[in-house]
Structure 1
Amino acid sequence: MKKFLFVSRWGESLDIANTIKKEGHEVKLFVEDKGCKEIGFGFVNKATHWEKHIAWADIIIFDYTGYGKIATQLRSAGKLVVGGTEYTDRLELDRNYGQAELKKHKIKIIPSKEFTSFNDAITYIEANPNTYVVKPCGETQELKQLLFVGSDDEGLDVIRILRAYEKAWGNDFGNFQLQRKVKGVEVSIAAFFNGHEFVYPINITFEHKKLFPKELGVSTGEMGTSMFWTKDSPIFEATLLKFQSTLAKHNFIGHIDINCIVNGNGIFPLEFTSRFGYPQIFIQRAGINEPLGELFLKLASKKTFRINVKKGFQVGAYIVVPPFPYDDKKTFNLFSKDAVVVFKKNGKEGVHPMHLKKVKDEWLITGNTGIAVLVTGVGNTMKDAQKMMYNRINNVIINNGYYRTDIGDRWSEDSDKLWSWGLL
């Protein structure tokens, strides 16, 4: 039995902490965000000041970017740590730097330009008409609904969006990037890194970011994901693998993901996630056959090992409640706060608690975003995995809950394209 200390930005690692507690370890969870402090109550022991428990912990797990400096200091002091470094934090948080590093590692990138002024961006589009994607940088990039993918060849839709943002945000928007839009299949390549090298197998992920089925509605960051594990991948070799010696130099121990658009002309990386992905990590957990606590201990101890994973596919879908994906405290308090997650039959298999607390064995929604649970399914085929997931979703009742009904549907078409381009 080991002592695990989780340092969480928004309580996202509750499900992992709860799993490791069930595996027989001692667990403490610290949640930084004020509005999310209740997340995890009743599931695991909570810590109000994580720094006071450093000596207590055998291993410390940071679940988000922004903790790289302290994680590095703790590693230097001899602590076992899973988490970022200042370098990997910057890869994710500073889009321009991330793109420059891709270029430095001789990886083809999509042309992009950073702006601080809406007018400058509009002038640029008028001078260079094309299809663009608007990507907020820094802190604003957490507001996923502000990401806008244009479809007009002249960029006129992007100009309209930028004018609307200027009215709504003024000078508070911060930096943002205009990136040329490339058509193709969006795919993420993810892997764990043990301080020396990547740990195999690697994970291939297909995200579903829009609120409604058929990719309609506002960008949410994530509504669900399908994935599989593989021992090799041409996309991995062309992107992440080229960072192996750099990540080793920075003594990175954790999880890293690179999101790409791929097509017949090649592989175009979009951005890094240099931490656990959400809900990626929970769906990965559904496909990992070994105890999660052991995996993290081996990783932090810089051991060389292979992860024992399931064959086939894993899928996961969020069940969310109002005001998701928006930030509206009044709506959350009115419709969702303390709403109960009810199970028709007494089976919680594959249902991962997200922004919840447990009171008298009941799961209640808390926090402030309205992400209630993630439900996963696994199977030899994508259809089998989907069937298991949606059967499990049907066992869950959440008042005002909503979810996407098509997670994994794109695979039949995406896989054909990836095969024909020689990328599977």
Structure 2
Amino acid sequence: MKTKEPYSKKFLFVSRWGESLDIINTIKSEGHAVKMFIEDKASKEIGFGFVNKVAHWEKHIDWADIIVFDYTGYGKIASELRSKGKLVIGGTEYTDKLELDRNFGQSELQKHKIKVIPSEEFTSFNDAIHYIKAHPNTYVIKPCGETQELKQLLFVGNDDEGLDVIRVLKAYEKSWGNNFGNFQLQRKVKGVEVSIAAFFNGNEFIYPINITFEHKKLFPKELGVSTGEMGTSMFWTKDSPIFEATLLKFQNTLSKHNYIGHIDINCIVNGNGIYPLEFTSRFGYPQIFIQSDGIMEPLGELFFKLASKKQFKMNVKKGFQIGAFIVVPPFPYDDKKTFDLFSKDAVVVIKKNGKEGVHPMHLKKVNDEWLITGNTGIAVLVTGSGNTMKDAQRMMYNRINNIIINNAYYRTDIGDRWTEDSDKLWSWGLL
């Protein structure tokens, strides 16, 4: 007779910027042993007081039952560890390239017979300006490689002749010179922006899949700079025409590369079709935290089944999940002086009813108080769920009103687009 494996496992998280603190904290609360390593020096304090931190993750490989890489760029080492028999959640060199090299991502979409929006890659601002003058249209500037982490550099033009994009390129040339690296000019397509995401177990996608609507601009009504994300609404579904037209076509390729983890493809969709924009071949932030609010099984168990290549279906909540970041200065900019002056060690005060739906982001815990640390100013993510989008919104904003953080700001309209977006998606046959 087979003996049942002991439930408690040892998890080693290798983190780029400490983004996965909330997942780690959740897995620890489920009774697992957890260790966390953070690569970025300025983010080293994140998680202090919450979890056991380590200075050299490599020394703990033998200790761990399962190793989790929370960002792209670790694909080579993740694959090497898998080949040695370790259970690993994380990328491969192929999936890292899908996300980090936009041109490669676009060419792989075409190879899988998925139509893409026309784009050109440049290394020179002047060349890009000449290109726009020769081909006047509405464009989006998309940095590639490392620069794409600076989300505020992404610029979505509105002028039909590209004149606003030309002005921004001239400004980037003055401030960046030759240090900007590669960037793409992509034709702007109007429609609904939607992400399709799923977990992958090395062989196949795990159902249900996740449909996500991101809110990227700093201010309500999509005003201000791009931030990466200020909040997100989502739901789980067992099938989706957008999934079938995009991610599902990559199932054999991801299996061939033995990818184990989470993958997301961001698309613009309209009455003419589905146009994939880019891959996120890792956990999405804040996507994974909002997803975890809808997942009805322990995260540690889910990750272990995933890394063990088990076939299973996830148990998830019906209805909608939603989340909004509460941030402090200098977010979304990198300015140490401002951070130290206004935000460093600021206290997150929760007035009553406990911390349910309040996810720690760039925090440390001292004497049971949550203090803001790191350098980017992302304090907490607050989530809500409900049978309707309005119910989920109400729960989230009630929780936000229960939190006091000095100098904090957040979007007040996360989820508001759902009524209009869903009407369009239904009319196009995409829901």
Please give the TM-score of this superposition, normalised by the length of structure 1. 1.00
The correspondence for 1:194, drawn from 177, 198, 201, is: 201
The equivalent residue for 1:225 is 232
The equivalent residue for 1:172 is 179
Q: Deviations over 1:355-394 (max 9, x none)?
A: 0000000000000000000000000000000000000001
**In structure 1, distance between residues paired with 2:164 and 2:345:** 40
The equivalent residue for 1:17 is 24
Q: Deviations over 1:193-240 (max 9, x none)?
A: 000000000000000000000000000000000000000000000000
The reply to whether residue 71 of structure 1 matches residue 78 of structure 2 is yes
**In structure 2, distance between residues paired with 1:189 and 1:301:** 24
**In structure 1, distance between residues paired with 2:288 and 2:171:** 35
Task: Give the unaligned 5+ runs of structure 2.
Answer: 1-7
The reply to whether residue 211 of structure 1 matches residue 218 of structure 2 is yes
- Kindly provide the amino acid, as one letter, of the partner of residue 302 in structure 1: K
Moved more, 377-386 or 338-347: 338-347
**Partner SS, residue 48 of structure 1:** coil
Task: Give the unaligned 5+ runs of structure 1.
Answer: none
**In structure 2, distance between residues paired with 1:32 and 1:395:** 33
**Partner SS, residue 108 of structure 1:** coil
The equivalent residue for 1:414 is 421
**In structure 1, distance between residues paired with 2:408 and 2:354:** 19
The reply to whether residue 56 of structure 1 matches residue 63 of structure 2 is yes
The correspondence for 1:375, drawn from 378, 382, 388, is: 382
The reply to whether residue 31 of structure 1 matches residue 38 of structure 2 is yes
Matches within 5 A, 1:172-321: 172-321=179-328
**In structure 2, distance between residues paired with 1:399 and 1:87:** 43
Q: How far off is 1:330 after superposition?
A: 0.0
**In structure 2, distance between residues paired with 1:365 and 1:12:** 13
- Kindly provide the amino acid, as one letter, of the partner of residue 337 in structure 1: K
Please give the TM-score of this superposition, normalised by the length of structure 2. 0.98
The reply to whether residue 340 of structure 1 matches residue 347 of structure 2 is yes
The reply to whether residue 112 of structure 1 matches residue 119 of structure 2 is yes
The equivalent residue for 2:159 is 152
**In structure 2, distance between residues paired with 1:47 and 1:104:** 42
The reply to whether residue 41 of structure 1 matches residue 48 of structure 2 is yes
Q: Deviations over 1:52-108 (max 9, x none)?
A: 000000000000000000000000000000000000000000000000000000000
**In structure 2, distance between residues paired with 1:22 and 1:344:** 22
**In structure 1, distance between residues paired with 2:353 and 2:309:** 40
**In structure 2, distance between residues paired with 1:393 and 1:28:** 30
**Partner SS, residue 62 of structure 2:** coil
- Kindly provide the amino acid, as one letter, of the partner of residue 28 in structure 1: K
- Kindly provide the amino acid, as one letter, of the partner of residue 248 in structure 2: L
**In structure 1, distance between residues paired with 2:418 and 2:52:** 40
The correspondence for 1:399, drawn from 406, 424, 429, is: 406
**In structure 2, distance between residues paired with 1:376 and 1:332:** 25
Moved more, 340-349 or 227-236: 340-349
The equivalent residue for 2:105 is 98
**In structure 2, distance between residues paired with 1:17 and 1:52:** 19
**Partner SS, residue 154 of structure 1:** coil
**Partner SS, residue 296 of structure 2:** coil
**In structure 1, distance between residues paired with 2:266 and 2:350:** 35
- Kindly provide the amino acid, as one letter, of the partner of residue 167 in structure 2: R
**In structure 2, distance between residues paired with 1:127 and 1:33:** 42
Stretches of 4+ aligned residues off by more than 3 angstroms: none
Q: How far off is 1:346 after superposition?
A: 4.2
Q: Deviations over 1:142-200 (max 9, x none)?
A: 00000000000000000000000000000000000000000000000000000000000
Q: Deviations over 1:277-303 (max 9, x none)?
A: 000000000000000000000000000
**In structure 2, distance between residues paired with 1:71 and 1:213:** 39
- Kindly provide the amino acid, as one letter, of the partner of residue 217 in structure 1: G
Percent identical across equivalent pairs? 87
- Kindly provide the amino acid, as one letter, of the partner of residue 307 in structure 2: A
**Partner SS, residue 214 of structure 1:** helix
**In structure 2, distance between residues paired with 1:48 and 1:333:** 24
**Partner SS, residue 165 of structure 1:** helix
